[in-house]
Every structure is written in C-alpha cells, then in structure tokens.
Amino acid sequence: MTREVIIDLLKNHGYTAFELSQRLNWATHKIENDLEHIRTTVRADPDFQLLINPAGCQLCGYQFSNAKIKAPTRCPECNKEKIKPPSFIIQKR
C-alpha cells in the first residue's frame, strides 16, 4: 500500500511532497493526493498526528499560516515565486 509507505517514512523524518516523490519515484501530485488522505486517516488515529510545517517565502520570509498540503505558487507579500514548500511529519500525540 503506497500510503503506508509514506506514513512509515513520515514517522521517521520530515519531508516535503517533492522529497517524497524523489524517494519513492512517484509524481508529486500523487504524493499530495495521498497526503490529503493520510491527513484524514491520521486525524482519526489516537496515537499519531500529522504535523505540517507551512510553506514560506524564501525571499522575504513571509510565512503562510494555513496548513495546506499543496505549496502555494506565489508569495502574497513580494509576489515572487520562490516558495519553500510545506513539509510533513507524523509524530506521537
């Protein structure tokens, strides 16, 4: 099961969707789709939780406050496209 592979990886280390796609050789949009499902699954898990380190702008330092799976494309502050994507980790509650 592909999602279980992702869950196992995220229990040991934080990754972005792109890093997971590199490790697993899957398309980033598939990983993002799986992460959406994993977020729902893990929400019901009494022992673990999915933590999202939100995206930020690499140029002006703007921090996105929303915990979205998909990286935004553009910074609302400086309007540039140098976005550090969100990263994900699964930790014990």
**Binding status of residue 78 toward Zn ion by CB under 5 A:** yes
**Binding status of residue 60 toward Zn ion by CB under 5 A:** yes
Place of tokens 């699964």: 90
Single-letter amino acid code for the residue at 40: T
CB of 44 to Zn ion, least distance (A): 36
Q: Given the rule CB under 5 A, which of 19-27, 39-47, 57-65, 83-91 is the region that contacts Zn ion?
A: 57-65
Q: How far apart are CA 45 and CA 28, in angstroms?
A: 25
CB of 81 to Zn ion, least distance (A): 9
**Binding status of residue 62 toward Zn ion by CB under 5 A:** yes
Q: What residues contact residue 4 under an 8 Å CB cut-off, 6+ apart?
A: none
**Binding status of residue 81 toward Zn ion by CB under 5 A:** no
Nearest to 12 by CA among 67, 93, 90, 74: 90
Residues in contact with Zn ion by CB under 5 A are: 57, 59-60, 62, 75, 77-78
